[in-house]
């Protein structure tokens, strides 16, 4: 349902030029070619060393080169493109940079990152996405901006209504392109690319590169440099994993005990279905937890409220379906719990990518029922590592075959070798 009244308040208003004196900087970020103002900005945000994708991509983007980037989630990808883009744009002018994102949440996140990084410049950042009214977005677009973060469908609507033009785009960022493919957005993306000038810099980020995307990249990019940071299949090394075997009827009980026994700051719980997510949330609330819920049946206002409430500490638990798994940057998630094992091994990596982001540590717990044993093994094969099976002392387990020594040994043997068969790009 379209929520006509709500517009996110963070969208940029006219911003004054830099209010502080920028000191002379000599940091790992200036060594990559970034200005003092940008290095000062990231220092203020607590960044000390650039992440590998930043080290690789920033110099290329600064020189104006096209990039095909693949980096696991939480690697600092946004700053890897946002910082050099802000530097290249320099001062306020026309709409020169467009970033396409598959979901509203990702668009909001990227817009927020740009706002933070551009704090000491007079560049203006705006955002448009679907599911909300047009009024404020139209006003923002007409007021003018340098950088626009957008989801494809809504941007096309605004373009058709003449609310903005892509005629001066110098830099086009296609982010999470494999996700756009999954969501059926590629025709829209192509139409948007065609509306941008041919002379431009294009940055293309994707976790996998199936043939459709190879083709799109070949068409949209010019002599791109490939930047690859870790295979997508390997989750962040700062995350520890555990599988908790349990029968289906005892899942909630076990979840409750896990929450009781774990010292957590914030927990993200994944459910396979929307109804399941609602049910888990409801039961957790009745046990006294503060809980936000995020899935595609909730409207935009509810989703933002849940996400902001979780980020701000109002909710200690966020229950979500996989809609929240891709790319969302939620700082300080200490635990991810898979109430249901994800159907695709790759989704596991995305889900747990919500914790252990940018060098922080995190724990990923997965409840595994007898029906999930195969999927659990697929995950281990996909990641090329065995995950420890854990039992909670004192829990009244009603079935224990899942702990059987042979099953555990088999799992360990199966887990050693990664296979490309499960790679999403190959499956299509
Ligand atoms: P991203 O992969 O772009 O979603 O970034 C994940 C998280 O890492 C965000 O919270 C960033 O603010 C943070 N981050 C990005 N770069 C760095 C860095 N060089 N040092 C510390 N944190 C960073």
**Would you say residue 208 has pLDDT above 80?**
no
How does residue 175 score in pLDDT terms, banded at 50, 70 and 90? very high
Nearest alpha carbon, ligand 1 atom 16 = 76
Q: Where are the alpha helices (DSSP H) in 233-367?
A: 251-261, 274-286, 300-311, 345-352
How does residue 22 score in pLDDT terms, banded at 50, 70 and 90? confident
Q: How far is the CA of 79 from the centre of ligand 1 (A)?
A: 7
10 Å Cβ neighbour count for 412?
Answer: 14
Which residue would you say has higher pLDDT here, 410 or 290?
A: 290
Nearest alpha carbon, ligand 1 atom 11 = 76
Alpha-carbon dihedral of residues 325, 328, 334, 338, nearest 10 degrees? -10
**Would you say residue 10 has pLDDT above 50?**
no
Which residue would you say has higher pLDDT here, 69 or 298?
A: 69
Mean pLDDT of the chain: 84
Atom of ligand 1 nearest to the CA of 331: 10
Is the Cβ atom of 50 under 6 angstroms away from ligand 1?
A: yes
Q: How far is the CA of 267 from the centre of ligand 1 (A)?
A: 19
- Cα(185)–Cα(154) distance, integer angstroms: 12
**Would you say residue 14 has pLDDT above 50?**
no
How does residue 277 score in pLDDT terms, banded at 50, 70 and 90? very high
pLDDT value of position 182: 78
**Would you say residue 308 has pLDDT above 90?**
no
CATH 3.40.50.300 range(s) for the chain read 11-228, 239-422
**Would you say residue 57 has pLDDT above 90?**
yes
Atom of ligand 1 nearest to the CA of 113: 12
Is the pTM here over 0.85, yes or no? no
pLDDT value of position 210: 83
Is the Cβ atom of 358 under 6 angstroms away from ligand 1?
A: yes
| Averaged pLDDT, 48-66 | 94
How does residue 237 score in pLDDT terms, banded at 50, 70 and 90? low
Which residue would you say has higher pLDDT here, 207 or 149?
A: 149
10 Å Cβ neighbour count for 385?
Answer: 15
How does residue 331 score in pLDDT terms, banded at 50, 70 and 90? low
**Would you say residue 12 has pLDDT above 50?**
no
**Would you say residue 426 has pLDDT above 70?**
no
pLDDT value of position 19: 59
Q: How far is the CA of 374 from the centre of ligand 1 (A)?
A: 34
DSSP-derived letter for residue 370 is G
How do 67-71 and 201-205 pair as beta strands? parallel
Specify burial of residue 405 (Cβ count, 10 A radius: 0-12, 13-18, 19+).
Answer: exposed
**Would you say residue 233 has pLDDT above 60?**
no
pLDDT digits (tens, 9 = 90+) for 105-136: 899 999 999 999 998 899 999 999 998 999 99
10 Å Cβ neighbour count for 418?
Answer: 18
Is the Cβ atom of 78 under 6 angstroms away from ligand 1?
A: yes
Window from 257-266, 268-277, 346-355, 410-419 with minimum mean pLDDT: 410-419
Q: How far is the CA of 130 from the centre of ligand 1 (A)?
A: 26
Is the Cβ atom of 152 under 6 angstroms away from ligand 1?
A: no
Nearest alpha carbon, ligand 1 atom 4 = 74
pLDDT value of position 383: 80
DSSP string for 67-112: EEEEE-TTSSHHHHHHHHHHHHH-SS-S--EEEE-SSHHHHHHHHH
**Would you say residue 204 has pLDDT above 70?**
yes
Is the Cβ atom of 137 under 6 angstroms away from ligand 1?
A: no
Scan for tokens 């059987």, then name that residue. 404
We find that the CATH architecture of domain 11-228 is 3-Layer(aba) Sandwich (3.40)
Window from 51-65, 118-132, 190-204, 327-341 with minimum mean pLDDT: 327-341
pLDDT value of position 13: 43
How does residue 325 score in pLDDT terms, banded at 50, 70 and 90? low
How does residue 9 score in pLDDT terms, banded at 50, 70 and 90? very low
Q: How far is the CA of 50 from the centre of ligand 1 (A)?
A: 9
pLDDT value of position 403: 52
Percent of the chain predicted with pLDDT > 90: 53
- Cα(390)–Cα(408) distance, integer angstroms: 11
Please say whether the structural domain 239-422 has been given the CATH code 3.40.50.300: yes
Is the Cβ atom of 114 under 6 angstroms away from ligand 1?
A: no
């Amino acid at each position: 349902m379209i929520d006509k009244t709500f517009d996110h308040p963070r969208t940029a208003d006219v911003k004054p030029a830099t209010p502080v004196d920028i000191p002379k900087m000599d940091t790992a970020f200036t060594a990559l070619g970034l200005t003092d103002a940008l290095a000062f900005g990231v220092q203020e945000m607590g960044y000390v060393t650039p992440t590998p994708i930043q080290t690789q991509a920033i110099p290329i983007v600064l020189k104006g080169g096209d990039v095909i980037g693949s980096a696991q989630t939480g690697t600092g990808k946004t700053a890897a493109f946002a910082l050099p883009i802000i530097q290249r744009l320099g001062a306020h002018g026309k709409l020169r940079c467009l970033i396409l994102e598959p979901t509203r949440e990702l668009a909001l996140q990227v817009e927020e990152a740009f706002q933070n990084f551009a704090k000491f410049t007079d560049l203006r950042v705006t955002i448009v996405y679907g599911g909300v009214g047009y009024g404020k977005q139209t006003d923002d677009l007409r007021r003018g901006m340098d950088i626009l973060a957008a989801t494809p469908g809504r941007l096309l609507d605004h373009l058709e209504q003449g609310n903005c033009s892509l005629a001066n785009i110098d830099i086009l960022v296609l982010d999470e392109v494999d996700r756009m493919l999954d969501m059926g957005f590629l025709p829209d993306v192509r139409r948007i690319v065609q509306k941008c000038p041919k002379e431009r810099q294009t940055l293309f980020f994707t976790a996998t590169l199936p043939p459709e995307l190879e083709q799109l990249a070949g068409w949209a990019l010019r002599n791109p440099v490939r930047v690859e940071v870790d295979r997508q299949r390997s989750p962040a090394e700062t995350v520890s994993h555990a599988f908790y075997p349990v029968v289906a009827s005892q899942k909630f009980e076990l979840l409750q005990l896990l929450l009781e026994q774990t010292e957590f700051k914030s927990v993200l719980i994944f459910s396979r279905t929307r109804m399941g997510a609602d049910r888990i949330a409801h039961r957790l609330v009745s046990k006294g937890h503060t809980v936000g819920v995020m899935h595609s049946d909730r409207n935009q206002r509810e989703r933002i409220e849940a996400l902001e409430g979780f980020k701000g500490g109002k909710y200690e638990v966020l229950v979500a379906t996989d809609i929240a798994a891709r790319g969302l940057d939620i700082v300080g998630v200490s635990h991810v719990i898979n109430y249901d094992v994800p159907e695709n091994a790759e989704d596991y990596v995305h889900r747990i990518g919500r914790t252990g982001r940018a060098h922080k540590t995190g724990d990923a717990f997965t409840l595994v029922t007898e029906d999930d044993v195969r999927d659990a093994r697929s995950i281990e094969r996909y990641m090329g590592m065995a995950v420890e099976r854990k039992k909670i002392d004192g829990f009244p387990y009603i079935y224990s075959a899942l702990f059987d020594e042979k099953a555990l040994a088999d799992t360990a043997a199966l887990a050693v070798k990664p296979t490309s068969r499960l790679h999403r790009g190959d499956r299509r």
